Amino acid sequence: MKRYIPVFGLALAVIIIDQLVKLWVAHNMQLGEEIPIFDGWFKLHYTLNEGMAFGATFGGSYGKLLLTTFRIIAMGVIAYYLVHIVKKGMPRGLQLCVALILGGAVGNLIDSVFYGVWLNNAPLHAPMPWLYGQVVDMFYIDIWEGYVPEWMPLIGGDYMALWPIFNVADAAIFVGVAAILLFQKRFFKEDIHNQEQQQAAEQEQKA
């Protein structure tokens, strides 16, 4: 049982920090308000996101319901996978990365399920407040924002920011996924070794 405490403890820490920051922003800032942090390039900017991480959207009322349902299923799958890799004794680094992803997934799921009621922030077109809450985003890295030149395909003429507004949950998911991709050879060394041995055995049989 003790081996599960660090990883699920990390996931719980991400959830608690994420929710504390979101609730502080929601209760102490006006929607659209900005607070400069570091020379203006890093700000707190209170905004709401109907859709996915980093401000991406998932069209329509039923799209939001599907997204919330998907998040619930994904949370269960990630939690099951985390238990599996801990039980299997996979590298601790991989376990912590998956814990970050789980914590981030649960953090944004709480917004979607409850914030339409707790914060009354469900969109006007939402058929009900439950499951239609909007995710609270606040961290804004102001690298560049403005109008994209007309000659750019697809996005030409649009006003956009180079870096999306995100929250603690988004950051945890991003760090977890990025670290897995970066260190996948180390995390899955045994699997890669077994696969290489199997391929070598198959080549010998063909020879």
Q: pLDDT value at position 170? A: 95
184 versus 150: which is more confidently predicted? 184
* Type of residue numbered 95: Q
The whole model's pTM is what? 0.83
| Position 204 pLDDT exceeds 90 | no
Q: pLDDT value at position 88? A: 93
Of 18, 39, 111, 137, catalytic: 137
Of 18, 142, 170, 191, catalytic: 170
Q: Catalytic residue at 158? A: no
Sheet with strand 42-49: strands edge to edge? 34-38, 42-49, 135-141
- Tokens 């994904």 locate to 74
Residues of the chain with pLDDT > 70, as a percent, come to 84
Over residues 88-96, mean pLDDT: 95
Handedness of CA 55, 58, 63, 68 (dihedral sign): negative
Q: Catalytic residue at 170? A: yes
Q: How far apart are CA 3 and CA 10, in angstroms?
A: 12
Per residue in 27-58, pLDDT (tens digit) is 999 999 999 998 878 999 999 988 655 445 55
Q: pLDDT value at position 50? A: 81
